[in-house]
Amino acid sequence: MALDSKIPQGPIADKWTNYKNHIDLVNPANKRNIDVIVVGTGLAGGSAAATLAELGYNVKAFCFQDSPRRAHSIAAQGGINAAKNYQGDGDSTYRLFYDTVKGGDYRSREANVYRLAEVSTNIIDQCVAQGVPFAREYGGLLDNRSFGGVLVSRTFYAAGQTGQQLLLGAYSAMNRQIGRGKIKMYNRHEMLDVVKVDGKARGIITRNLITGEIERHSAHAVVLGTGGYGNVFFLSTNAMGSNVTAAWKAHKRGAFFANPCYTQIHPTCIPVSGDHQSKLTLMSESLRNDGRIWVPKHKKDVEAIRNKTLKPTQIAEADRDYYLERRYPAFGNLVPRDVASRAAKERCDAGFGVNATGEAVYLDFASAIERYGKEQAHVKGLNENDAALVKKLGQEVVKNKYGNLFQMYEKIVDENPYETPMMIYPAVHYTMGGIWVDYNLMTTVPGLYAIGEANFSDHGANRLGASALMQGLADGYFVLPYTIGDYLSDDIRTGPISTDTKEFEEAEAEVRKNIDHLINNNGTHSVDYFHKRLGKIMWNKCGMARNAEDLKSAITEISELRAEFWKDVRVPGTANEFNEELAKAGRVADFLELGELFAKDALQREESAGGHFREEYQTAEGEAMRRKEFQYVSAWEYKGEPKEAILHKEELAYENIEVKERSYK
**Residue 396 CB neighbour total at 10 angstroms:** 15
Let me know: does 535 contact 595? Beta carbons within 8 Å: no
Nearest CA to 101 out of 90, 87, 86, 116 is that of: 116
Q: Give the C-alpha separation, 444 to 498, whole Å.
A: 23
Hey, what amino acid is at 209? L
Radius of gyration, CA atoms only, the chain: 25
Q: Which alpha helices (DSSP H) does 524-579 contain, by range?
A: 527-542, 548-568
Q: Give the C-alpha separation, 352 to 299, whole Å.
A: 6
CA distances to 63, 75, 259, 278, 538 from 70, in Å: 9, 9, 28, 19, 27
Share of the chain above pLDDT 90, in %: 85
pLDDT recorded at residue 645: 33
pLDDT recorded at residue 665: 27
Considering 107, 109, 202, 337, which one is annotated as catalytic?
337
Each residue of 425-474: pLDDT tens digit?
Answer: 999 999 999 999 999 999 999 999 999 999 999 999 999 999 999 999 99
Let me know: does 119 contact 110? Beta carbons within 8 Å: no
Share of the chain above pLDDT 70, in %: 93
Q: Give the C-alpha separation, 607 to 361, whole Å.
A: 27
Q: How many CA atoms lie within 13 A of 643 on its CB side?
A: 9
Q: What pLDDT band is residue 2 in, cutting at 50, 70 and 90?
A: confident
In this predicted structure, the answer to whether residue 3 has a pLDDT above a threshold of 60 is yes
pLDDT recorded at residue 291: 95
Each residue of 599-637: pLDDT tens digit?
Answer: 999 999 988 888 888 887 655 555 554 444 433 322 222
pLDDT recorded at residue 46: 98
Q: Give the C-alpha separation, 340 to 336, whole Å.
A: 6
pLDDT recorded at residue 647: 29
pTM: 0.91
pLDDT recorded at residue 607: 87
Q: Which alpha helices (DSSP H) does 131-161 contain, by range?
A: none
Each residue of 17-64: pLDDT tens digit?
Answer: 999 999 999 999 999 999 999 999 999 999 999 999 999 999 999 999
Hey, what amino acid is at 53? A
The three state secondary structure string of 472-537 is HHHHHHHHHHHHHHHHHHHHCCCCCCCCCCHHHHHHHHHHHHHHHHHHHCCCCECHHHHHHHHHHH
Hey, what amino acid is at 624? A
pLDDT recorded at residue 621: 54
Hey, what amino acid is at 96? L
Each residue of 306-327: pLDDT tens digit?
Answer: 999 999 999 999 999 999 999 9
| Catalytic residue list contains 371 | no
Percentages helix, strand, coil for the chain (3-state, rounded to 5) are 45, 15, 40
pLDDT recorded at residue 274: 77
pLDDT recorded at residue 160: 86
β-strand partners of 423: 362
Q: What pLDDT band is residue 396 in, cutting at 50, 70 and 90?
A: very high
In this predicted structure, the answer to whether residue 520 has a pLDDT above a threshold of 60 is yes
CA distances to 210, 292, 393, 618 from 416, in Å: 41, 16, 17, 38
Burial bucket for residue 641 (CB in 10 Å: 0-12, 13-18, 19+): exposed
Nearest CA to 452 out of 56, 103, 123 is that of: 123
In this predicted structure, the answer to whether residue 583 has a pLDDT above a threshold of 60 is yes
What is the 8-class DSSP label of residue 68? G
Nearest CA to 654 out of 441, 479, 444 is that of: 444
